[in-house]
Structure 1
Amino acid sequence: MPYSREHKAKSRERILTAATELFSRFGFDNVSITEIMQAAKMTHGAFYSHFESKEALFKASFVETLKGSRTSRLVKGPLSLKHLTALVTHYWNLRELENSNKPGPEMVLFNEAGNQNTCVKPLFEESYNNLKRMLEIRLLALSKLKLLPYENNRNIIADKARVILSLLVGAVVVAKSIPREEEQRKILEAAQMQILHMLGVSNTELTH
């Protein structure tokens, strides 16, 4: 007896949920179809009834990460400098990033830097452009309110967004490659302080 549409939809969702979590923790190259199906508690053979390939699943997973992304909510949230700094301080805890149940598009940047796969590379660029655009919108708005220590100039704002993303992504990528937790913490904290300095936020303001 063939499965119902509802059953097929639920099975596909189970695979997608498992893949999204594994891809966000370990990256495209470090996750196999077998591992995904084991996490979904389904047989390996059932995979191709729902997705043509691992690449197709990764694309679907990328779309899934855009839903309810914490980064998207932070950047689109209340118009305040304090709210924007939450975007930065969120990345101080590397363990929180790795164990996040709701990964955002930034995880593609953290996991896939340098990946030349023809499926992954365009999604990396899309993730970068999306996050950069969201940051620019937020920085422009705060700059108009005179809440940032630089002029309201689109070129300047674009460069600031590039620097913030580069510091965030670079720090996390390096920290994830270092086995010592103390050094991981120092790398992330140093990058965070540099970004907060760019935003004109002092350590005292951050703790209040």
Structure 2
Amino acid sequence: MPYPTGHKLKVREQIIESAAKAFRTNGVRHISLPFIMKGAGLTHGGFYAHFKNKDQLVIEAFHFAISDTIKLLQNVADKKADQPRIQTIIEFYLSSVHRDQTEVGCILPALAGEVSQLSQEVRQAYTDELKRFMEFIADTANIDVSTSYALVSSLVGTIALARAVNDSNFSDQLLLAGKIQAKRILEVESHPN
């Protein structure tokens, strides 16, 4: 009996979601294809019916993860109409919730230290998705792209460090300092000398 229409696409999406979750939590190099396929509820043998290699999956998982993060941040901002959207996004991005829920968090800090050691194609995909995220932040904050570079670098760097340390109080202090600095970046942009 043939599979229903759209079955292959649905399975492919399950694999991409499983990969994005795994990469966000454990990085790319230490995650095997069988692990990803198991996370999607599938056997390893079916992988090559959907992707030519792991790099192709990584590239598609980057795109999915950034789209997912943008959607999450938009939803968070929509819930707090009483403050500027970018302020809400900063507060959430640099929160203990975002820090601790790596499997659904932003993939940029999760892979920042590792991506330079991956293939050129994967590095290009990371670069493209970082630029897309920076453009989203620039549009949301109504700031120029250059300021967005500084703001996103501050956000991603803060989360990466807050996740890396084993001292929860220090991690919380890093998040607070990151919020203060991110807001200063916006203040400088809105009140240039």
TM-score normalised by the chain length of structure 1: 0.72
Residue 19 (structure 1) aligns with: 19
Residue ranges of structure 1 left out of the alignment (5+ in a row)? 142-156, 201-208
Higher relative helix content: 2
CA distance in 2, matches of 1:161, 1:11: 36
Residue ranges of structure 2 left out of the alignment (5+ in a row)? 188-193
CA distance in 1, matches of 2:139, 2:178: 22
Report matched runs for 1:57-68 at 5 Å.
57-68=57-68
Residue 191 (structure 2) aligns with: none
Residue 165 (structure 1) aligns with: 152
Contact kept in structure 2, 1:167 and 1:195, CA below 8 Å:
yes
Query: Match of 1:31, SS?
Result: coil
Residue-by-residue CA offset, 1:27-83 (whole Å, 9 max, x unaligned): 222321111111112111111111111111112222323445236627996998621
Q: 1:161 to 1:74 in 2, by over 3 A?
A: farther
Q: Is 1:197 aligned with 2:184?
A: yes
Q: 1:198 to 1:63 in 2, by over 3 A?
A: closer
Runs of 4+ in 1 over 4 A off after TM superposition: 1-5, 74-81, 100-103
TM-score normalised by the chain length of structure 2: 0.77
What fraction of aligned residue pairs are identical, expressed as a percent?
A: 23
Residue type of the alignment partner of 2:139: I
Cα deviation for residue 178 of structure 1 reads: 0.7
CA distance in 1, matches of 2:28, 2:48: 18
Indicate the RMSD between aligned Cα atoms, in angstroms: 3.1
Cα deviation for residue 162 of structure 1 reads: 2.0
Q: 1:62 to 1:97 in 2, by over 3 A?
A: same
Higher Rg of the two aligned structures: 1
